[in-house]
Chain A
Amino acid sequence: MKLRERDALRAGSVSWALPYLAHSLAAIVRFVDKTLTIANLEVRKLRHDPTDLASRAVQPALWLLVFGQVFSQVRAIPTGGLPYIDFMAPGILAQSVLFISIFYGISIIWERDLGIVQKLLVSPTPRTALVLGKALSAGIRAFAQALIVYALAVLLGVQMNWNPLALAGVVTFVLLGAGLFSTVSLIIACLVKTRERFMGIGQVLTMPLFFASNAIYPISLMPGWLQVIAHLNPLSYEVDGLRALMLAGGTSAYGLALDLTILLGAATVVVIIGGRLYPRVAT
């Protein structure tokens, strides 16, 4: 009797849970679909106008050619046995990801001024899906940038790791880094709201993030206080991961698992904060 009651109860709870489960599953599918829709727009825009990408090849080329060549001659930087240009290539890839992403917020302000953001916000789309879609869009732009850096690196004779798993790892780090930095940028845009103030802050942020990282020299060369900052800087973990995955003889200083955890954790936190703040840009 008791048993049967319990079975009935259990059956009852299952029949309760099923529609609920189906409902949440449908919500998740819609969430992912909308996120991908926003990102899909970026691909379409790139197809309509690819010239923007070409002009972005200049900066990494300058860094690798000028800075890289000079410092290869000087041999002043301990790279753990790597040729300097090899050591530097992942750093420049990370730099490209950072630079392309950290100014991404300006496009949010631009879309706000056009009224595009308002229409997205009035649609029944979860705010986090909009923000995540934007993060992925930045990732797509950064990925195009990564192809350019790869081409340059090969031309300069950097010993690359062509293992498909390693390549997939590079793509993951590029998308994660771009998602992280572009969402930080989106948050800044939502807080300052105007183009002028945004550009000011963007410029103030970029160089310190770049120089207080292991992108073009190891952290061990830095004074103590800067080492602390470099260890708090997510860019250091982006570089570390890329250095391990991109180069034939690449090694990670902190371990790929830690790099990945830190970037993923930071990206999750900023996407959630961004989802909260995004509606403010329209007010």
Chain B
Amino acid sequence: MEPGHDDMAIVETTALTRRFDAVVAVDALTMSVGTGEVFGLLGPNGAGKTTVVKMLTTLLPPTSGSATVAGFDIVRQAGEVRRVIGYVPQLLSADGDLTGYENLWVFAKLYDLPRAEREARIRDALAFMGLLGAADKLVRTYSGGMVRRLEIAESMLHRPRVLFLDEPTLGLDPLARQAVWEHVEQLRATYGTTIFLTTHYMDEADSLCDRVAILHRGTMAASGTPADLKAAIGKAEATLDDVFKHYAGDALETMETYREAARTRRTARRLG
């Protein structure tokens, strides 16, 4: 049996839809993610990946349809959802004017970690992500890879059941990307956290994800294990890139707006 169905599902969406005026960013998306999986939502810029993540993390109300995370409805039980998830936004979100330690401290407080455990958890998280040495330095002096690791450390402090990572390696150099992958793997192995990540790098999905879904203009073009998808297009030696082209068309023509392009580049520049 394929994992991620029936009672095993920890994230489930039903005809989940989000419009922005005329644009249908996510169009009647129905899918599920199994407990303990590393699940990858793939698609070119503008496919609707961030919009899906924002809805599942309660940041954005859906226009129609529904979704549950750990059994809680994302609209009616938003408060409960927030307690059981962690989130690393696509944008770089650590506060550069604070130290690494302080960045973690805020979230330790906001997530109500018991006082007695707070310091130990912060230290553990820093150690886990290899940042102990940089804990008291201002984050604006960190490299892009360090910032990402700090953000993942932050999102893990309260031991969430599902961790949402939106384009976690966007703009990172190959070595830093590798480090992020290893840490994500380790997180799942250590805490059994379900990982929901988005990416437009096929190699990332291939090496990291148990299952992927390909999002194309807000709708699901295909889903399954990377191996299934490669087999499905009937080409020996197919790569996920081929799968991607097969479903999304050569039209990697994106719907990315000017504003988003500007943002992406800004992020990339800060990381570089």
Contact = CB atoms under 8 A, between A and B. Distances in A.
Given A37-B106, A41-B106, A114-B91, A123 B82 contact: yes
Interface in B40-70: 54, 57-60
A123 B107 contact: yes
Contact of B82 (A34, A122, A282, A283): A122
B143 to A, nearest CB: 17
Given A113-B91, A119-B89, A123-B82, A37 B109 contact: yes
A114 B94 CA distance: 8
Interface in B88-103: 89-93, 95, 97-99, 102
B interface, how many residues as a size bin?
A: 20 to 34
Contacts of B54: 118, 282-283
A126 to B, nearest CB: 9
Contacts of B82: 122-124
A265 interface: no
Contacts, number: 75
A120 interface: yes
A102 B97 CA distance: 21
A147 B4 CA distance: 60
Contacts of B107: 119, 123
Contact of A49 (B95, B97, B110, B111): B97
The secondary structure that dominates the A interface is helix
A30 B113 CA distance: 11
A45 interface: yes
Interface residues of A, number: 25
Contacts of B91: 113-115, 118
B110 A279 contact: no
A30 B112 CA distance: 8
A59 B139 CA distance: 31
B89 A124 contact: no
Contacts of B58: 121-122
Nearest to A122: B87
B98 A41 contact: yes
A118 B110 contact: no
Nearest to A111: B95
Interface string B209-228: 00000000000000000000
B31 interface: no
A41 to B, nearest CB: 6
B152 interface: no
A37 B110 contact: yes
A37 B54 CA distance: 25
Contact of B59 (A30, A49, A122): A122
30 contacts: A33-B109, A34-B109, A37-B110, A38-B106, A41-B102, A41-B106, A48-B99, A49-B97, A113-B263, A113-B266, A115-B89, A115-B90, A115-B92, A115-B93, A116-B93, A118-B54, A118-B57, A119-B93, A119-B107, A119-B154, A119-B155, A120-B110, A121-B59, A122-B57, A122-B82, A123-B110, A124-B83, A124-B111, A282-B54, A283-B60
